[in-house]
Structure 1
Amino acid sequence: MDERLIESLSAAVRAAPADLTLRLHLAGLLVDAGRGPEAVEHAATVLAAEPGSLEARDVMSRAMGTASAPRPDDDPVDTASGSGDQTAREPRSPAVPTEFDWHAAESDVGETVGPMFVDGSTEDPGPAPYDVELVGIRLADVGGLSEVKKRLEASFLAPLRNPELRRLYGKSLRGGLLLYGPPGCGKTYLAKAVAGELGASFIHVSLADVLDMYIGQSERNVKELFEVARSSAPCVLFLDELDAIGQKRSLTRNSGTRTTVNQLLTELDGVGSDNEGVFVLAATNHPWDVDPALRRPGRLDRTLLVLPPDREAREAILRTHLRDRPVERIDTRRLAKATEGFSGADLAHLCESASENALMESVGSGKVRMIGMADFDQALSEIRPSIGPWMETARNVALYANASGEYDDLAKWLRKQR
């Protein structure tokens, strides 16, 4: 009857392994049946979950005593007498320890019950594996923006390429460069071109790479990003949408955002680390929302306005986007004149729409044809410049929030647009 009950309880424990009461009852029956090693496994499982269980400790103590005691079938016999009688010796009573040896018990069941908490690693994994790119584009691949390229060359690239002249003239490399202007005008592309000019690796940092829901993790992400950049030097670390990552601390009540900006300031200053070979570029559409501390000397102290492309630049951009498409008799000069106020992204969208018109007509007629000016005229009737809302905001800033003169170049350009 006991054996059948044990088998039934064993099946029940296998079906419900988390039922500690059932497992402890089975362990007690196994002890009574003289099956100590099996009882030890079940008692140890209960103790791993409830270390303070007195009943489980009692069962474990009894099970260990039963496991060390000799079974009746294995008792030695007295064969010393020549009469051939085999007299059984008195069975030895099991020695019950006065104090349970937990270290011995853990070593006995170590393979049966694994550790409750494991780290899973034996060494420091190092910084998080953020994407480090090697870009192949240069400034010559950027259509137009000749004035922007000149300012980049004077304030950033020439000192980097000529270390002897830099030392002669005492030109410092501390600080970074902030690119700002309307959306879709090629700020990210310019940053990649700078990395290509320097032959440096490139890390694109967005809000998703930094922001985390857990307290302290966003600050750790900022630290790890700079560590990856330092280990990949020479490296261009590009902070995209800086107004989201480094928002004005006076505008937010979120303590997590404030401490993230503090950590960014610490890393830009190179406190505790050397930023040699790490060139920090940042981009934003709304520089007036960036924390002023980020734009102080030694941080992002150089500012460059990236404007919508002028007529020559628009023509160059159109030619670039039409280079690999089947076009016929496209007047890029007329298109450039008709797209005043278009950003680079708007021009790319224009070419895409014209190509779509030709494709759909080819699908309908079953005959492939070239992209012509009629397709662009139709696309121009549907597409408008996308930078209008930004210009309204920028105009208010230039008129009413430019007491320090930091947006004089923006105000000058806006006056020309009237």
Structure 2
Amino acid sequence: MDESTVASLRAALEATPENASLRAVLLRALAGLGRVDEALELLGSRAPEDFPSKDDRVAIAELLLAGESPARAVQFADTGTPEGLIVQARAYLELDARDEAQRAYREAVLRNPTLEDVALKARLTERVRTIDQTGETGAGPRLKVIANDDTDETEVDRLLQPEVRTVTFADVGGLDGIKRQIEKRIILPFQKPSLFRRFRKKVGGGILLYGPPGCGKTLLARATAGQCGATFLNVAISDILDMYIGESERKLHAVFERARASTPAVMFFDELEALAGKRRFSREGTSSKLVSQFLSEMDGFAQNNRGVLILGATNVPWALDPAFRRPGRFDRVLFVPPPDREARAAILERLLEDRPIAGRVDVSTLARKTSGFSGADLEQLVESAVDEAIEASLAAGAEVPVTDAHLKVALADTRPTTLEWLTTARNYARFANEGGQYDEVLTFLRKHGKG
């Protein structure tokens, strides 16, 4: 709306100052031009009752919110409409009335789902704490810390750390087949939730990654969360296990509650066998209770796990309690094998990036000579070669780049760590392959002449 139109509206309003509809049109026009102060002056001390149109009152409430008058905005937005409730939610948030804001937002979205606002929802679920940086109550600068979880006072330092860079599939060398499976079965449900809801397909669930140590299960899990745009919760064993009876179960429940409050979320349990090992009728009653609690949390009977993806990783899938493999739990199982030749070349190129290299290292030949190496083995190989180059640099008094010769020396001293695992896995795949759960292992072993 241009200035001439605003001038015409103002002239008309001067002629009929009691015309509430005309005043509302002019208020909207001024707000649209960014002239908030002028609009607020025109509104004056008029009450919501002076404007019979609910749409006009909601628009004025938005104007008041922009003019930093949230209390009046609440009054004007009290129209009983979903649009008014959304404005009230924002206004209550500015007034630090978080409970009222959450109630208004839930009611608005329930009545009109198109009003869902991800940014507003995130603000409504975050927790705020003010910290005195001087150590003296009421003195010195104060810092506001915001967290989307059940953070306690001992975790403030962690919150103040820089955010960890998001990892995506581009950071994972190789594993293209597994990436495609994850894209189809995991990531798409997070990226297209409306489509999956239309087909009544649940988003979330449990996925088990297993394979030799050092083959990228943890990196793959973090990349999956990055691809989904989801909160990534890396659950360490030390976060759960406790010497006191009942504490481990309580901590496990708290971690799941944190994930449910941060959806979409990806929970990652590494070394899963420590928390989900086979239950036996023995003295180990405490571990049996923890397994039962874990199963209950995954089932989500008492809580809703929608939007929570549970990723588990283990080197010993045969040590897990069989109950975890039932539908609704870790019912999707992916074998993460040692990288093939192309993947090893990609990993080596990534590991050698941004390092001083002499000319072009023959990565293709090196990949051919490292059959059976895990990603961690390849990293160790490159680190050993870098150590050789650093020693040469110190001896020469000048920078000596990494060469093929350094990599050859490192290769002679590095052995693959996957062979022991593959030998054990072969025995389970041959003699304990109930329901074909280790068929992928057998296929891999036959393909590489180890079956």
- Normalised to the residue count of structure 2, the TM-score between the two structures is 0.62
1:345 aligns with 2:376: yes
Question: Which whole-Å CA distance do the structure 1 matches of 2:368 and 2:324 have between them?
Answer: 39
Q: Does 2:267 match 1:237?
A: yes
- Alpha-carbon offset, residue 409 of structure 1: 0.9
What letter matches 1:342 in structure 2? F
For residues 31-180 of structure 1, the aligned pairs below 5 Å read 127=150, 129=152, 135-173=165-203, 175-180=205-210
Deviation of the 1:252 alpha carbon? 5.9
Whole-angstrom CA distance in 1 between matches of 2:326 and 2:403: 51
Aligned to 1:394: 425
Q: Match of 2:397?
A: 366
Shift of 1:170: 4.3
Give a deviation string over 1:126-164, Cα, whole Å, max 9, x none: 946577976511112211111010111122112222224
Q: Tell me the amino acid that sits aligned with residue 344 of structure 1.
A: G
1:269 aligns to 2:314 (yes or no): no
Q: Which runs of 5+ in 1 are unaligned?
A: 1-125
Q: Which residue of 2 aligns with 1:214?
A: 244
Counterpart of 2:363 in structure 1: which amino acid? Answer: T
Please identify, of 189-198 and 361-370, the stretch whose mean Cα deviation from structure 2 is larger: 361-370
- From 265, 278, 283, the equivalent of 2:308 is 278
Q: CA deviation digits over 1:75-101, x for unaligned, max 9?
A: xxxxxxxxxxxxxxxxxxxxxxxxxxx
Whether contact under 8 Å (2:206, 2:309) holds in the other structure is yes
Structure 2 unpaired stretches of 5+:
1-148
Report whether the alignment pairs 1:379 with 2:410: yes
* Post-superposition offset of 1:254: 0.8
CA–CA distance in structure 1, aligned partners of residues 419 and 222 of structure 2: 26
1:250 Cα deviation after fit: 2.6
Q: Which residue of 1 aligns with 2:362?
A: 331
Decide which structure has the larger Cα Rg and report it: 1
Aligned to 1:113: none
Per-residue CA deviations over 1:209-256 (Å, capped at 9, x if unaligned) read 111100110101101111111122221110111111100113864111
Q: Of the candidates 301, 304, 313, which is equivalent to residue 331 of structure 2?
A: 301
Whether the aligned pair in 2 keeps the contact of 1:241 and 1:285 (CA below 8 Å) is yes
| Displacement of 1:397 | 0.3
1:185 has 2:215 as partner: yes
Query: 1:292 maps to which residue?
Result: 322
Q: Does the 8 A contact of 1:135 with 1:196 survive in 2? A: no
Of 186-195 and 246-255, more deviation after overlay is shown by 246-255
- Contact conserved, 2:211 with 2:335, CA < 8 A, in 1? yes
Equivalent residue, structure 2, for 1:27: none
Write out per-residue CA displacement over residues 319-363 of structure 1, whole angstroms, 9 at most, x where no aligned residue.
111101101131111111111111000111111000000101211
Secondary structure at the aligned position of 2:233 is classed as strand
What secondary structure sits across from 1:404 in the alignment? helix
C-alpha contact 1:174 1:299 (8 A) present in aligned 2: no
Letter in 1 for 2:401: M
CA distance in 1, matches of 2:351, 2:282: 41
Q: CA RMSD in A?
A: 1.8
| Aligned position for 1:3 | none
- Alignment deviations for residues 296-316 of structure 1 (CA, whole Å, 9 cap, x no partner): 111111001111111111111
* Contact kept? 2:275, 2:291, Cα under 8 Å: yes
| C-alpha distance after superposition, 1:241-285 (max 9, x if no partner) | 111110011386411100011111111111221112211111111
- 1:241-260 alignment to 2 at 5 Å? 241-250=271-280, 253-260=283-290
Structure 1 equivalent of residue 226 of structure 2: 196
Partner secondary structure for residue 304 of structure 2: coil
Tell me the distance in 2 between the aligned counterparts of 1:157 and 1:239.
Answer: 18
Letter in 2 for 1:314: R
Structure 1 pair 141/273, CA: closer, same or farther in 2 (3 Å)?
A: same
| SS of equivalent to 2:234 | strand
Amino acid corresponding to residue 296 of structure 2 in structure 1: T
SS across alignment from 1:249: coil
Amino acid at match of 1:327: I
- Equivalent residue, structure 2, for 1:116: none
Structure 1's 229 and 135: CA in aligned 2 closer, same or farther, altered over 3 A? farther
**What secondary structure does 2:400 align onto?**
coil
Counterpart AA for 2:376: A
Cα deviation digits, residues 345-394 of structure 1 (max 9, x gap): 01111110000001012112222211100000000110010111111110
Identity of aligned residues (%): 48
Say if 1:311 and 1:246 are closer, same or farther in 2 by CA, change over 3 A: same
Is the 2:345–2:363 contact (alpha carbons within 8 Å) kept by the matching residues of 1?
yes
Is the contact between residue 341 and residue 371 of structure 2 (CA under 8 Å) also seen in structure 1? yes
The answer on whether the counterparts of 2:175 and 2:343 sit within 8 Å (CA) in structure 1 is yes
Q: Which position in structure 2 is the counterpart of 1:11?
A: none
Secondary structure at the counterpart of residue 250 of structure 1: coil
Asked if the contact 1:330/1:373 (under 8 Å) is kept, the reply is: yes
Decide whether the 8 Å contact of 1:134 with 1:200 is kept in 2. Answer: no
Aligned length: 293
